[in-house]
Chains A and B, each alone.
Chain A
Amino acid sequence: MLFNSTEFLLFFPIAVLLYFVFPKKIRNYWLLICSYFYYMCWNPKYIVLLVASTVVTYLSGLVMEWAKNSGKAEAQIVKIKNWTVAASFVLNIGLLFYFKYINFAMDTITRIMAKFGIAVTAPVFDVVLPVGISFYIFQALSYTMDVYRDEIYAEKNFFRYALFVSFFPQLVAGPIERSKNLLKQLATPGEFNYDNVRSGLLTMMWGYFLKMVIADRCAILVDTVYNNVSGYFGYQLVLASVLFALQIYCDFMSYSTIAIGAARVLGYDLMENFHLPYFATSIKDFWRRWHISLSSWLRDYLYIPLGGNRKGRIRKYFNIMVTFFVSGLWHGAAFTYIFWGVLHGIYQIIEDVLKPFTDKLLEKTKINPDNKLLYVCKIVVTFIFVDIAWVFFRANSIGDAFTVLKNSLYTANLATIKVDLWALGLDMRNMGMLMVGTLVLFISSVMRANGDQSNKTLLVEWISRRNFIIRYALYWSCMLMIIFSMDITGQEFIYFQF
């Protein structure tokens, strides 16, 4: 059930209405039923995986909690906790590996063997990638780790914990929530709050705007070009690559925004997943702003346990590369994703190596680091590097990605630019709608960059403070743009496949 499907449009009001109608005691049970139903709409039998992951991490939490309170010797407690967390990781990562990576691994082994002249016929496993598996397994594992580190107490109530793992607004594409945030909130079921519901619904509308008006329109042009990369040159490839950056941002952010809005309607606050990533002034900064729930997960549960930056420069770079390799692999079982992740790792290392030199250069040239022009230049340069990496993320193969980069350098034939532009899949009306949508996004981003950083949907709040006529003119314009985008939508969210 996609957020942009008619099913969800029926499901959500019913779920919310009954949630507030039911007595507080059973609201969580109702939400759990809704969440499982939501997941089963995709494929009922894969609910088993969600339940398995929930049970394993729930029991691991209980075991670790029991060990802590058992009065055993510290060394023994540590041993039990280590074994428990290892078991939880092995079982969960095992599930993830089997359903997401098994065929990729087999194929890779076959290829490597073939390189050495050994012909191996690896078995092909008939598995379907369960939707959202990477998200809920990471969320469940974060709970195990938090209990392991004594950052939280183990949850005793199984149903509440099951709801934490399966909470439908963020179940299949994040944000990957932390137990410290969501599980705590679930202890007290949400109350009907006019402001929360109003703000949640407006946030959802903004999410739909991003997805339907911008992301799905970009997808048409991007798909046209990227499915036949050798047929396009110069500005066409550049335009498609820039629009892919916009598409993936709006697509993924829209999902997170709708999830945050839906949760807020129910009375829960989900973590922010994006913070103006294309306003980042460095690659490091970009990763503080992009898919925050995953990057902070990798930082807290992979990079820091590996030693972070505490064990010398070489080890730090190694840790960065491992983290970004995993980040790439998390996105999908394909070399394009791995290459994308590794490229970001390399970017970060180069940035780190060059930092003393750039700092010195600024000092010598006496350029004020707060200079606005310098700030804009940094944003542009960072975006270019991020976008080059997106080429690998989007391309159907690494070969295609290099073709895009190489052919992007050809100059366009200005005589045919008008004809060529309309041959990319978007007609004038849709291109116009895309431009208007992008302008609205830009204004909203600038407002947020210059405004109150804590307010996550500043534009929506700004609109809600205008007078009736302006407010409703803007709401209705937004609604009409969404309605008129319904003919090109229906595309899955990109992050569903991860």
Chain B
Amino acid sequence: MKKIVKLLLKCILVSAPMWGMMIFFWQAREYYSNEDFGYTWWNQEFTQTTHQKYYKYVVLGDSSCNAAYMPEVISDSMVNLSIGGSSTVEEYYVLEDYLANNEAPTDVFLSYHDSHFKYTEAYWDKIVPSHRFNMLQNLEILYNVAKYRDDSFSREGMLAEYLAAEFYFPSKYITAFNNSLGENRFAKLEMAYDKIELHGGRYTTLGKMEFETVQDRVYSEMPVKPLYNYYFTKTIELCVENNIAVHIVKPPLPDNTEMTAEYVEQVFYYYKYFVDSYPNVTFSWNTKIMDRKLFADEIHMNNDGALAFSTTLKNEFKDIFPETRYTADMMLAVDDSIQQENIAGYLMHFIGDRDYTVLMYDGGNCVRQFRKQFTAPVGLRSYSMKEIDENAPNADNLYVLLAPDNEAIDFTIEDDGTSLVVKNDKLGDNRWALPNTSCISLFIIDNVNEQLVGIKNIQYNTTDKTFENYVF
């Protein structure tokens, strides 16, 4: 017996580096994990916390869904709980977690790309460090995987691999650790976490990327594997049990997509089954295709696409999104999108009917053209500075842009010799350096949060009398 104990102690001692690494991987995951995991942890924390605030609308889906729904545009009472790479399988547990800790929402939006009815990229073998699901949930998944003989989850040694991941065995984490050497992942994760919180669960790394392709993608069938169908049905049944209205919304695809008639029929046939079989289930696929510029890749919308999609959705479901007021939180999230925006047209769409005071400087005698091209289509009204404060410097060339029914924030403008200074009690003094080129310069103030969002300049070509697409 003594020898057995001695042997065990020696084994533990010889393998001490392994135990040390396992403890490190368990306790310090934010130091080596990729910033993508910030989202998964946020999702886990959010669903497993009881919130003071009641969320009426919950969005579930995959990354295409996560990229498309902008809660800050749709409703202050919406949260986007979709996870990048996840399928119908994982999202069932996301909803289960949320309902276990929070009052049931009134409406759930379900949006998946077809691919996530046949494979997943969010299970523990792909995103091991996240530990998004607990052991019971994972074992239940493994049980159902075996039951439905699903090959997208299962493979040789699946259970052993899961246990290795669950107990932080180094083989599952060492790649992330090696890649993290020399990077400050903690800071990146913190930033990612804050962004996700700001955008109500929408993970915004795709930002302003634009999809470029010369290839068409043909959709000729909608393959649904039994395991994925089982969990999709289970999700809907969970909603029905909790008196939650379900809105299945199929996200649009870029215009390089070709859908065969059979495919469209299959999609309708599949989703209509749920509409016909369960109460309070709707299916919407009104916008099938959108401009590829609104996408970051073949399925994910960029910020502009998300704005367009969310605006359309809000109009489509105006019965359930009656509120038109933009809360401070929503405005902060839109501010962030405006800061990222680099296309003049979309910039105006983000400003739209929201409560902003936009100071506009006409540096190229092009204000008429600008109004016609950019501000009028989104309903922004412009007022000459001369009407507000005729003594303001450059008053002849200064304008204030406002949405109808909005009032401008109180401010004064001074000239310090090199640039204008916009002053406000809350904003403080903000320098506005006017470009020397022929352009329109915008100084954007968030009235609700009383903060400067940013300064955006749009070049005007005097020869052909057009504006550049991109801001500078």
Using CB atoms and an 8 Å cutoff, list the residues of chain A in contact with chain B: 1, 5-7, 9-11, 41-42, 192, 194, 197-198, 201, 205, 429, 472, 475-476, 479-480, 483-484, 486-487, 489-490
The 3 closest A-B CB pairs, nearest first, are A7-B157, A7-B160, A487-B175
- Interface pair A483/B170, CB less than 8 Å apart: yes
| B6-A194 in contact (CB<8A) | yes
Chain A residue at minimum C-beta to C-beta distance from B15: A479
- B161 touching A479 by the CB < 8 A rule? no
Chain B residue numbers with a CB within 8 Å of A487 are 171, 174-175, 178
CB distance from B4 to the nearest CB of A (A): 7
Q: Within 8 Å of chain A (Cβ to Cβ): is B218?
A: no
Say yes or no for B163: interface residue by CB 8 A criterion: yes
Among B16-24, B285-293, B330-338, B391-399, the stretch in contact with A: B16-24
B169 on interface, CB distance cutoff 8 Å: yes
Known contacts A5-B157, A6-B157: A480-B17 contact under CB 8 Å: yes
- A484, B171: Cα distance in complex, Å: 9
Residue of A nearest to B14 (CB): A475
User: Would you mind naming 26 contact pairs between A and B with Cβ atoms under 8 Å apart?
Assistant: A1-B156, A5-B157, A6-B161, A6-B163, A6-B169, A6-B171, A7-B160, A9-B164, A41-B156, A194-B7, A198-B10, A201-B11, A205-B14, A472-B13, A472-B14, A476-B14, A476-B17, A479-B15, A479-B16, A479-B17, A480-B17, A483-B17, A483-B18, A483-B170, A484-B174, A487-B175
A88→B163 CA distance, assembly (Å): 44
In the complex formed, the residue of A with least CB distance to B17 is A479
- B6: chain A residues at CB < 8 Å are 194
Tell me, yes or no, whether B3 is within 8 Å of chain A by CB: yes
Complex Cα gap A194–B157 (Å): 31
- With A6-B161, A198-B10, A472-B14 known as contacts, the answer to whether A483 contacts B156 (CB < 8 A) is no
In the complex, which of the residues A194, A205, A489 contacts B3, with contact meaning CB atoms closer than 8 Å?
A: A194
Identity of the chain B residue whose Cβ is nearest the Cβ of A476 in the assembled complex: B17
B residues 143-190 near A (Cβ < 8 Å) are: 156-157, 160-161, 163-164, 169-171, 174-175, 178
Residue from B10, B164, B171, B174 having most chain A Cβ neighbours under 10 A: B171
In the assembled complex, the CB of B5 is this many whole angstroms from the nearest CB of chain A, namely 11
Q: Which residues of B contact A201 (CB under 8 A)?
A: 11
Alpha-carbon distance A194/B4, docked complex (angstroms): 7
- CB pair A484–B161 under 8 Å, yes or no, is no
Residue of A nearest to B170 (CB): A483
Residue of B nearest to A205 (CB): B14
Contact with A along B198-233 (1 / 0, CB 8 A): 000000000000000000000000000000000000
Question: Given A6-B171, A483-B174, A484-B178 in contact, is the A192-B17 Cβ separation under 8 Å?
Answer: no
Contact residues in B for A6 (Cβ distance below 8 Å):
157, 160-161, 163-164, 169, 171
Pairwise interchain contact B14-A486, C-beta atoms closer than 8 A: no
Smallest CB gap from A212: residue in B? B171
Q: Name the A residues within 8 Å of B4 (CB-CB).
A: 192, 194
**Measured CA separation A11–B159 after assembly (Å):** 12
Q: Which residues of A contact B18 (CB under 8 A)?
A: 479, 483
Q: Is the CB of A476 within 8 A of B3?
A: no
Report chain A residues within 8 Å CB of B163: 6, 10
Q: Number of B residues contacting the other chain (C-beta, 8 Å)? A: 25
Assembly CA distance A490 to B11 (angstroms): 23
User: What's the least CB distance linking B201 to chain A, in Å?
Assistant: 31
In residues 1-44 of chain B, which contact A (Cβ within 8 Å)? 3-4, 6-7, 10-11, 13-18, 21
B463 to chain A, nearest CB (A): 46
Q: A167 to chain B: closest CB distance in Å?
A: 21
* Inter-chain contacts of B178 with A (CB < 8 A): 429, 484, 487
CB nearest neighbor in B for A489? B171
Within the complex, the shortest CB–CB distance from B151 to chain A, in Å, comes to 14
Q: Are A479 and B14 touching (Cβ within 8 A)?
A: yes
Find the A residue at minimum CB distance from B19. A479
Q: Are the C-beta atoms of A197 and B171 separated by less than 8 Å?
A: no
Asked if B157 and A483 make an inter-chain contact with CB atoms under 8 angstroms apart, the answer reads no
- For the complex, what is the distance from the CA of A86 to the CA of B390, rounded to whole Å? 113
Question: Which of B7, B14, B15 is the one whose CB lies under 8 Å from A197?
Answer: B7
Look across to chain A and name the residue whose beta carbon is closest to the beta carbon of B16: A476
Report the minimum CB–CB distance from B3 to chain A (whole Å).
4
Q: Are B171 and A486 in contact (CB under 8 A)?
A: yes
Report how far A197 CA is from B156 CA in the complex, Å. Answer: 29
Residues of chain A within 8 A of B10, CB atoms compared: 198
A304–B14 Cα gap in the complex (Å)?
A: 47
Whether A41 pairs with B157 at a CB distance below 8 angstroms is yes
- A199 → chain B closest CB, angstroms: 11
Chain B residue with Cβ nearest A471:
B14
B21 touches A10 (CB 8 A): no
Expressed in whole angstroms, the Cα–Cα distance for A84 and B170 within the complex equals 52
Contacts of A476 in B (CB 8 A): 14, 16-17
Contact of A198 with B170 in the complex, beta carbons under 8 Å: no
Complex: A205 Cα to B178 Cα, angstroms: 22
A315 to chain B, nearest CB (A): 48
B161 touches A483 (CB 8 A): no
A266 to chain B, nearest CB (A): 14
Q: How far is the CB of A88 from chain B (nearest CB, A)?
A: 32
Are B7 and A198 closer than 8 Å at their CB atoms?
yes
A475 to B17: give the CA distance in the assembly, Å.
9
Choose one: B11, B157, B160, B174; the contact of A486 (CB below 8 Å). B174
Q: A1-B157, A6-B161 are in contact. List 9 more A-B contacts (CB 8 A).
A: A9-B169, A194-B3, A205-B14, A476-B14, A479-B14, A479-B16, A484-B174, A486-B170, A490-B171
> Bound complex: CA of A478 vs CA of B85, how far in Å?
37
Give the complex CA separation of A483 and B22 in angstroms: 11
Contact B14 A9 (CB under 8 A): no
User: How far apart are A368's CB and chain B's nearest CB, in angstroms?
Assistant: 46
Distance of A2 from chain B, by nearest CB (Å): 9
A residues near B21, Cβ cutoff 8 Å = 483
**Cα of A7 to Cα of B169 in the assembled complex, Å:** 12
**Given known contacts A197-B7, A483-B21, A10 and B160 CB-to-CB distance under 8 angstroms:** yes
- Report the minimal beta-carbon distance from A43 to chain B, rounded to whole angstroms: 9
| Chain B residue, CB-CB nearest to A198 | B7
Q: What residues of chain A lie closer than 8 Å to B15, measured between beta carbons?
A: 479
Mask: chain B, 265-294; 1 = CB below 8 Å from A; 0 = not: 000000000000000000000000000000
Q: List the B residue with the shortest CB-CB distance to A10.
A: B160
Counting chain A CB atoms within 10 Å of each CB, the highest count among B4, B13, B160 belongs to: B160
A139 to chain B, nearest CB (A): 24
Complex CA gap A472/B10 in Å reads 10
**A484–B161 alpha-carbon span in the complex (Å):** 18
When the two chains form their complex, are residues A5 and B160 in contact, meaning their CB atoms are under 8 A apart?
yes
Task: Fill in one digit per residue for B111-139: 1 if any A CB lies within 8 Å of its CB, else 0.
Answer: 00000000000000000000000000000
Residue with the highest number of chain B CB atoms closer than 10 Å, among A1, A6, A192, A205: A6
A42: nearest chain-B partner, CB-CB: B156
Check if B160 sits within 8 Å of A9, measured CB to CB: yes
CA distance A429 to B13 in the complex (A): 27
Q: List the A residue with the shortest CB-CB distance to B4.
A: A192
Instruction: Report the bound CA distance from A490 to B174 in whole Å.
Output: 13
- A490–B155 Cα gap in the complex (Å)? 14
Closest residue of chain A to B178 (Cβ to Cβ) is A487
A192 to B2, CA, bound (A): 12
Q: In the assembled complex, which residues on chain B have CB atoms less than 8 Å from the CB atom of A429? A: 178
Contacts of A205 in B (CB 8 A): 14
Q: State in angstroms the CA–CA spacing of A429 and B174 once bound together.
A: 14
Return chain A residues, CB-CB under 8 Å to B175: 487
Residues of chain A within 8 A of B3, CB atoms compared: 194
Instruction: Please measure, in the bound complex, the distance between the C-alpha atom of A480 and the C-alpha atom of B169, giving whole angstroms.
Output: 13
Tell me the complex Cα distance, A192–B6, Å: 13
Q: Please, which residues of chain A bring their CB within 8 A of the CB of B161?
A: 6-7
Q: In chain A, what residue has the closest Cβ to B156?
A: A41
Expressed in whole angstroms, the minimum distance between the Cβ of B334 and any Cβ of chain A is: 41
Closest chain B CB from A12 CB (angstroms):
11
Residue among A476, A480, A486 with most chain B CB within 10 A? A486
A42 CB contacts on chain B under 8 angstroms:
156
Q: How far is the CB of A433 from chain B (nearest CB, A)?
A: 11
Chain B residues near A194 (CB, 8 Å)? 3-4, 6-7
Query: In the bound complex, what is the Cα–Cα distance between A490 and B21 (angstroms)?
Result: 19
